[in-house]
Structure formats: C-alpha cells, structure tokens
Chains A and B, each alone.
Chain A
Amino acid sequence: MISSFAEAEVIAKEVGPKKIAVLRAENREFLLALKESYRRGYGEPILIGDESKIREIADNIDFDINDFRVIDEKNSQKVADKGVGLVSDGEADFVLRGYIDGHYLYRTLIRSSSKSGVKKQICVVALMQFPVLPKLIGLTDTGITIAPDFSAKVEIIRHAVDLFSHLGYENPRVGILAAGRGLNLELDSVIDALKIREALSNGDLSGCSIEEGFNLSDFFLGKNSFLENHEDIDFSLVPDILLVHNLEFGNIFVKIDSLSTSDYFHDFRRHGIIMGAGIPTVIPSRADMHDTIITDIALGVLIA
C-alpha cells in the first residue's frame, strides 16, 4: 500500500518504464520533470506541441530528446486528441497534461469515452497527503461533474476504488460527505448516501466499504458523539476515499490548504488524476514546478 507520494516515486522506478503522452510539452518545468523522470526510469515521453519551442527549451536544459518522438501540433484541441489517441491505440501508456488548458483535455476524454456507445462518468480524483495522516486519501469529484446524481456518484466511487487498488489499498473505506447534521438530515446528499450504502449491500457496488455516518464528525467521533478535546482527535480514523456532493465543495476542499498553508496545512500536497475514461491521465497544474510534476508522472506510471 502506497502511503505517501515519496513512496509512489520509489515504487514507480520498479514499475516503469512506461510511455508518456505529453500534451503541450513546450514548458521548462514540464521538460525538466520529464528529463528527471527519464533518468529515474519512469519512462520516455512522446512530446506533443510546438516542436521548435520544445527543442529550444530541451536544448536549454540539456535534455537530449533526439531518441524521443516529437509530434508538431500547435492547435490545443488537436494536441489533446492526438495524445489521448496515442493511449487508446496502445502507443503510449498514460497521458500527462502539460501546458494545455484543461478543458481541451476534458472535451477529448468525454468524446472518446462516449464513442463506445455507453456514456461514461469520468471524474477527477485528487490524491491528498496531509501531514497528520498516516496515508494518502482520495477526494472526488474535484473537477468534472457539477452536481452528480446518485448513479453518477456510484460510478465516481467505482473509479476512485479502482485508483486505490492500483495504489495497493484493498477494500478501501469510502466516506460520503453530506451536510446531514443534527438540525436536518433530509438532504439530497444524505438520501444519496443511504442509496449508495444500499447499492453496496445489493452488490451493485463492490470492492470497498462505506463508512457509517455522513460527515467527518461521524467518521472521527462516531455517530452522535461530540468533540471533547482537539488533542484527542485520532487522525487515523479518516476514510481512504471521500466523496463530495457537489463540485463547489470538491473545489474548496481540494484547495483547503490555500486558506492557511502556514497554520494548518503545512506540507499538504495534492495530485489530480482523471479516472473513468479508460485513459490514465495525470493532471499537474500549469503553475506547478518540476519536482511536483515528477510526482504526477510517478503516479501515472503506477496507474497505467
């Protein structure tokens, strides 16, 4: 079981090398990350984007890319289409979002996943590392569906469970977050949570367990209990996977560290992965530095 990003980076050396389709590689931080990843044996890139810029930056950072495939393509939508196409054709193992606007990638993935006739529920699972926790936790959906309904939520859980099985978590514990609280339990989020639990007992959902309760107080304190002392919080009680009711909260939660990095979320780290499209895709932010992107690449190697 991979319990930290540092561990993911070590294991990826054993699992690699893989072929990485890079969407818009013409960025120094991304090329630095790919250079180091190649050195570590994670795999070799297929560089898609503005070829002359890619070669210029590679030259500047002493990254010899002569042995790698470079695809010259300046149109962002076509970059996304070609990169995803490489993975679906088996020529690459996973997609690394480079310096490309996310919506091109999402559009391509949604299109390619609906080609098969069955509409798939793709989602972003954010892997999060909190210094107080002894393991990684997954938060979903933090990027695609604004207000997933019950069946979408079941699909999203399946994808997150699938991701966690790649990371060696057997039968992960899923916590469904809902604003069900003493004042009112009659909320859509609570009803969905109850139905999801039913789906698990019916066998419609498997490979995971669902935590009792609807919120972190329930998971950490037990149902109907109150917080006595902050010092008594047992952080290990956190579920492996947390499902949010809507994208607004997913977005707030995944960036919760921004509220105060120095006071409460010192050393907090997160990495986003798109699941459900059948195309393993890691999505660093365009503002990330190369050492962060290396972790994304390592995670890509593990899920490919």
Chain B
Amino acid sequence: MMIRNFNDILAKAKSKEIASMVIPNPQSKRVLTAIYKAKAYGLIEPIIIGDRHSIEKNISLFLGKHTDGYKIIDEPDSSRALSRAIKILDDQEAKMIFQGDINIKEFFKAITDDRHGITKASSLSYVSLFELPSEDRTILLTDTYINEFPKLKQKVNILANAVSLANSMGIEKPKVAALSMVELVNPDFRSTTDAAILSKMSERGQLNAIVDGPLDIDCASSFERAKRKGLNSPVSGDVDIYLLPDIESGYSIVEVLTFLGGAKTAGALMGSKIPIILNLRFESADSILIDIALATLRNQ
C-alpha cells in the first residue's frame, strides 16, 4: 500500500506489532501528549525514565490521565535518565528511542557516542514530510535538520536515507529533484554541479531513484513551467523527494511551510540502526505522533 497522507501512516502503523520505546525525561505537554496518543493508538509500549513524581503530576495536569499501565523508571536527574535510556537500548530492551525533553545537543551526543554503536553522526540526515491533499500524496524534503553544507558524498548518503524512507512508504523508485536556483550547470556553483552528478549517478543506476537536477523549485514542482523553460525533466511535477542544497534552505523551508503556509509537518531521522525520534521546535504533538508512527513502519 502506498502511503498518501499522515492518516495512512497512522493506519499502517496500527497494523504493526507494538514496539517498545524508551523516552528520557518527558515533561512537556507536547511530548507527553504525543506519547499518550501513540500508546493509545497501540503503536508503542513506552518505557519512561525520569522524575516519576513530576511526570505523574504533568500527565494528570496536561492530559487529565492516570499513569496506570505506564512503565516509569524513577530517575530525577535528566542526564542520568538519558544514560539509562541508552543502556536500555544497548541491552535491547527497547526498539526505539524518543528524545523526550532532553536538550537536543546532549541527546545527539549520547546517541552518536561510539561506545554504544547506536548510530554514527556521519550517517544521519533528517527528512521532513508534507502532505499535498490536492494531489493525494506526501512529499519528502531533505536534509532539513542535520547536515549543514554537505559535500557530494554526504548528499549521496542523504539521498539514500530519503529513498529508504520513501520505500518504506510504498514509493518504489522515488523521483528526486536536486534543487538549486538555476537549471544550467555552473562550474562555480556547487549545488548545480552536485545536482548534475547525482542525476548522472541515477542514470547509471547507482541511486535506486530517478534524480534530476539542477532544477529550481518552480521547474521541479510543475511540468508545465519546466516545459515553458524548455526543460524535459523526468521528475517535473511529480517529485517525491526534494533535495535541498544546504541547511540554510533545508531548515528554513520547513519553517516557511509551517509558519507561512499553515502546513503540518512530520519527520524522520534516518541513517541510524534503530529508529530515533527527535523533538524539534516546529513539530507539534500531532507531528511527533506521526513521527512515532513513521518510526514503527521502519522498525520491521
């Protein structure tokens, strides 16, 4: 089944086996709401590590719920809660981890720590999802959080990560637009040369995707506008994955869609051995719920 929208992600996740998810220090309303809903939908069995008293109080305050049936390990110190969460993963007592309300720098350091082998920082990238209701499909944008000014080799990895996510959403051979601001290759302008090389790599069957670039966002998203510019692109108007040139556009485009377009987003940290769910500022509790559902789809 091809996933067309966030509801499809939820529906498909519900049909999967319940996955155990460890969460260090969940305190905020957003985070607790997402955990509560994910559990209620039967997506996860949460293992919560943190200050039991304050977590119970917050769940009651924010959600009006009891914590019966929740596994809570009392650990008031948030750094120690994080270490214990990592240990639970090491011991394979949980299948996934959610950042909870741990500071992202601290969380990132812990999950990429060589001693645990959870993930290497260099293999990670973030993919943001947006629904296009009028076209009955969902598009993927990457890298929207992790890599800053990736070189070609990193872009190949970023792309492979996004393709893998697209595959798990039922998109067999995704169409990718390597974005720049022009369609012509300019040797002085790295986003254009990288895009051209990625296109060639895809043509040679190296990427398991149909990549075209450089394309500006206009030609990428509309077959007609591309044609008007004399481009005959195999991806125009039907792009599954938009590959952004750098973090300045990658990070900001999600915020523009969210704050000026009123769009809802979800996302996935890709490239890790086990699913890791981040807590990003521009994702609401509903977004995090979809993030969790998406993670369970990958956890097969």
Which among B134, B216, B225 is the interface contact of A262 at CB below 8 angstroms? B134
A66, CB-defined interface residue at 8 Å? no
B11, CB-defined interface residue at 8 Å? no
- Given A228-B285, A248-B180, also A238-B259 (CB < 8 A): yes
A206, CB-defined interface residue at 8 Å? no
Smallest beta-carbon distance A141→chain B, Å: 12
Contact status A178-B255, CB under 8 Å? no
Stretch in B77-85, B197-205, B260-268 with 4+ CB within 8 Å of A = B260-268
Q: How far is the CA of A216 from the CA of B132 in the complex (A)?
A: 22
Known: A216-B260, A258-B222, A259-B257. 5 other contacts (CB 8 A): A230-B264, A238-B259, A252-B244, A253-B253, A260-B135
Contact status B253-A248, CB under 8 Å? no
Question: 27 A-B Cβ contacts within 8 A?
Answer: A130-B260, A146-B189, A183-B145, A217-B281, A219-B259, A228-B29, A228-B284, A229-B284, A230-B262, A233-B258, A244-B252, A246-B248, A248-B191, A249-B248, A249-B252, A251-B181, A252-B216, A252-B217, A253-B252, A255-B216, A256-B253, A258-B217, A258-B222, A259-B221, A259-B257, A262-B134, A265-B261
Contact status A256-B250, CB under 8 Å? no
Contact status B248-A244, CB under 8 Å? yes
The A142-177 residues at the B interface (CB cut-off 8 A) are: 146, 177
A118, CB-defined interface residue at 8 Å? no
0/1 per residue, B232-267, Cβ < 8 Å to A?
000000000010111111111101111111111000
Contact status A227-B281, CB under 8 Å? yes
Main secondary structure of the interface of A (DSSP, over half): loop
Which among A217, A246, A264, A287 is the interface contact of B263 at CB below 8 angstroms? A264
0/1 per residue, B88-103, Cβ < 8 Å to A?
0000000000000001
Interface of B toward A, CB cutoff 8 Å: 28-30, 103-105, 108, 130-135, 139, 145-146, 148, 179-181, 189, 191, 216-218, 221-222, 225, 228, 242, 244-253, 255-264, 279-287
A71, CB-defined interface residue at 8 Å? no
Contact status A178-B259, CB under 8 Å? no
Q: How far is the CA of A248 from the CA of B104 in the complex (A)?
A: 27
Q: How far is the CA of A248 from the CA of B191 in the complex (A)?
A: 9
- Given A230-B262, A264-B257, also A183-B284 (CB < 8 A): no
Smallest beta-carbon distance B143→chain A, Å: 11
Nearest chain B residue, comparing its CB with the CB of A180? B251
Q: How far is the CA of A258 from the CA of B226 in the complex (A)?
A: 12
Contact status B282-A227, CB under 8 Å? yes
Contact status A260-B252, CB under 8 Å? no
Which B residues are CB-close (under 8 A) to A228? 29-30, 284-285
Contact status A216-B256, CB under 8 Å? yes
A221, CB-defined interface residue at 8 Å? yes
Which B residues are CB-close (under 8 A) to A133? 260
The A191-241 residues at the B interface (CB cut-off 8 A) are: 215-217, 219-221, 225-230, 233, 235, 238
